[in-house]
Structure 1
Amino acid sequence: MGFKKRRVKLEDIARKLNISIATVSRALDENPRVKQSTREKVFHMAKLMGYMPNQIAKSLSSGKTNIIGVLIPRYDEPFFIEVCRGIDQYARKHNYKILISSSRNSYEFEKENLISFEKGLVDGIILSPTHETENVAHLNNLVNKGIPMVLFDNIREEVSGADHVMIDDEKASFSAVEFLIKKGKKKIAFIGGIKQKKVFQDRYKGFISALTKYKIPVYDELVLHCNSLDREFEDKEILDFFKHLSITPDAVFACTDNYGLLAMKTLLKTGKKIPEEVAVIGFGDLGLGEVFVPTLTCISQPSFEMGQKAAELLINQLNESDEVDHQKRIIHLKTKLTEREST
């Protein structure tokens, strides 16, 4: 027959040792007001009984949880995984843990998650806004309440008082397409994500700017804005895109590594030679491109560093004196083109 084990509380330890709950609490906090011998007895009994401190209860007295809330649009995107790794590495070095949640690319879920964070679970927030986030009033509201915040990646509008970490997506895309043009490519396809997302808008602008500068025609038929937010359906969208083309591209600029790899998979299935017939460039350089055959040329985005910088900015905010007005910081990280076999 099973049984339900009750969580061990401070009063249980106090009863066993025949001392006050206040003494147990102070002993576990290593308060010097409690004799060393008593502290040792309390720690020994707590361990023996399997006591685990209630972090939320502790935070009520200290005003801190030492937890950073991280809100990302999706879990299955390698870019966000790398950013979270960077945040976690820096945070742990500075005695913080991270709590990751996903908005599932929904503005409403983004607001719901932030309300949960606001209720005291976290000391500060690192956020990548969704493509639906056109109104940032909810973010300004949190900052105005004194909650430290850092934004990264898809920043449509600056939030006053929040630090930002970003790359120049338009410039990076321009350099990728210019690279293809200088290799003699004249029918360049574009594969991007959902049109409403700021980063994809900027990458499309870079694509158009490069073609315009070098007087290369823009073929509307060779432009795909994927509407799917699911990897399985992204694969189908890209397959359908190439299947129905009447113009054969000699190059593809893909706005993510995933789009680039899916494009190469489709092209190879249809008998195209890469890079002899079609060159392909991806965006991100998150490791997958190096294991595919042929390996994928990419715009290398410093995703891990982006996470580290976001965590650094937030922890700096958390360590600022309440008497000091926070001076907003915006960090622009550099990208580079990493050439491999696909070009």
Structure 2
Amino acid sequence: MPVKKRRIKLEDIARKLNISIATVSRALDKNPRVKISTREKVFKMAQSMGYMPNQIAKSLSSGKTNIIGVIIPRYDEPFFIEVCRGIDDYAREHNYKILISSSRNSFEFERDNLIAFERGLVDGIILSPTHETEMFAHIRSVIKKGIPVVLFDNIREEVQGADHVLIDDDKASFNGVEFLIKKGKKNIAFIGGIIEKKVFQDRYKGYLDAMKKYNIPIREELILHCESLDREFEDAEIQNFFKNIPIKPDAVFTCTDNYGLLSMKTLLKSGYKIPEEVSVIGFGDLGLGEVYVPSMTCIAQPTYAMGQKAAELLIEQFNEQNETHLKKVIKLNTELVLRDST
């Protein structure tokens, strides 16, 4: 049975070279107090023995880990994958790595992940709050301890000391629905996500505001707030919605790409012609809408740029000299990308 190899420590190198542990540590840190010849011997011995520096020990002495903690509600959402890609690319350009954790759409898990990061694993935190997050005391507690924080996407209330990166969901939704109205659509269905989530509340508000501005009746039977957080059940909710809808819609405005694609699939199977009989707009523009047949018109949000900006703001906080951080709120622009579904 193979014997588990023990991790090589500084004292093992010191014993081999018959020098002090302090000298080995200084040599590996390229301290000029150690002669170049001794440093070379230490580096050569460390390499031959397979020594790996203990990052936690180094961070305790330097106060830095060069790691950014990222907390997202779910791993399987294209939006969060793309945001994390933006964070990671910007962080690596500035010699930081990221550590990603999922709250699984649970406030309890979000708080637990934040506490774990707070204990010295990371230099700062980028977080997208869950739809369950109604109180922000856990985030304020981290900020009070001097840990930089940036919030993005689903921000229910402003948190002093934390930078915010988001889009104007209300305005983006309004513009999409207004486009449909100007095309002569009147029976516009709305499909959004769980109503407790701030971004879905804002997108619903944009829909309502556009309908009211143009004096179009708002019919409850044309509105669906999906309750599921699982794609399989989202599909079933949307199928059931269109199966039982009493009014034939001439347009569908949806709050995510996934809702838009699921709506198109159901409508096509039900015999609707897109866009001749019904137009469909998705929200996100994360790739699939472009390759679907027919291709889907989308409100494109700058998801990758959102990640880059979040990382940029966090690293700026690392380099600040002021003890009190003045919160920045960044709102990124969206764009309506027209395709075959409208």
TM-score of the two chains, using structure 2 as the length reference: 0.98
* DSSP 3-state at the match of 1:337: strand
Residues of 2 paired with 1:107 and 1:61: CA distance? 33
1:18-69 deviation line (CA, Å, top 9, x unaligned): 2211111111111111122222222222222221111111111011111111
Mean Cα deviation higher: 116-125 or 21-30: 21-30
1:170-202 deviation line (CA, Å, top 9, x unaligned): 000000000111111111111111010000000
The equivalences for 1:38-117 within 5 A come to 38-117=38-117
Residues of 2 paired with 1:36 and 1:23: CA distance? 12
**Equivalent residue letter for 1:203:** R
Aligned to 1:150: 150
Residues of 2 paired with 1:294 and 1:50: CA distance? 57
Residues of 2 paired with 1:243 and 1:56: CA distance? 57
Aligned to 2:262: 262
* DSSP 3-state at the match of 1:60: helix
**What is the RMSD of the two structures over their aligned residues, measured on CA atoms?**
1.0
* DSSP 3-state at the match of 2:79: helix
The equivalences for 1:264-303 within 5 A come to 264-303=264-303
The equivalences for 1:23-42 within 5 A come to 23-42=23-42
* DSSP 3-state at the match of 2:201: helix
The equivalences for 1:118-197 within 5 A come to 118-197=118-197
Mean Cα deviation higher: 82-91 or 237-246: 237-246
- How far off is 1:324 after superposition? 3.9
Residues of 2 paired with 1:57 and 1:195: CA distance? 45
Aligned to 2:330: 331
Mean Cα deviation higher: 44-53 or 200-209: 44-53
* DSSP 3-state at the match of 2:320: coil
- How far off is 1:13 after superposition? 1.5
1:298-322 deviation line (CA, Å, top 9, x unaligned): 101001101011001000001112x
Residues of 1 paired with 2:305 and 2:27: CA distance? 40
**Equivalent residue letter for 1:279:** S
TM-score of the two chains, using structure 1 as the length reference: 0.98
Residues of 2 paired with 1:47 and 1:262: CA distance? 55
Number of residue-to-residue matches in the alignment? 342
1:275-313 deviation line (CA, Å, top 9, x unaligned): 111110001111111111111111010011010110010
Residues of 2 paired with 1:331 and 1:262: CA distance? 31
Residues of 2 paired with 1:206 and 1:232: CA distance? 27
- How far off is 1:269 after superposition? 1.4
Structure 2: gaps of 5 or more residues: none
**Equivalent residue letter for 2:331:** H
Mean Cα deviation higher: 27-36 or 116-125: 27-36
Aligned to 2:339: 340
Which consecutive segments of 4 or more residues in structure 1 shift more than 6 A? Answer: none
Mean Cα deviation higher: 3-12 or 114-123: 3-12
**Equivalent residue letter for 1:342:** S
Residues of 2 paired with 1:290 and 1:18: CA distance? 66
Residues of 1 paired with 2:20 and 2:266: CA distance? 71
Residues of 2 paired with 1:47 and 1:263: CA distance? 59
Residues of 2 paired with 1:101 and 1:193: CA distance? 23
1:108-142 deviation line (CA, Å, top 9, x unaligned): 11111111011110111101111111111111111
1:231-280 deviation line (CA, Å, top 9, x unaligned): 11111111111111121111110101111111111111112111111110
* DSSP 3-state at the match of 1:100: strand
* DSSP 3-state at the match of 2:101: strand
Aligned to 2:229: 229
Residues of 1 paired with 2:285 and 2:260: CA distance? 10
Residues of 2 paired with 1:296 and 1:47: CA distance? 55
**Equivalent residue letter for 1:145:** K
Residues of 2 paired with 1:43 and 1:273: CA distance? 70
Residues of 1 paired with 2:88 and 2:298: CA distance? 25
Structure 1: gaps of 5 or more residues: none
Residues of 1 paired with 2:118 and 2:80: CA distance? 22
- How far off is 1:325 after superposition? 2.3
Aligned to 2:21: 21
1:143-183 deviation line (CA, Å, top 9, x unaligned): 11111100110010000111111110000000000011111
**Equivalent residue letter for 2:21:** I
**Equivalent residue letter for 1:273:** K
**Equivalent residue letter for 2:100:** I
Q: Identity, % of aligned pairs? A: 77
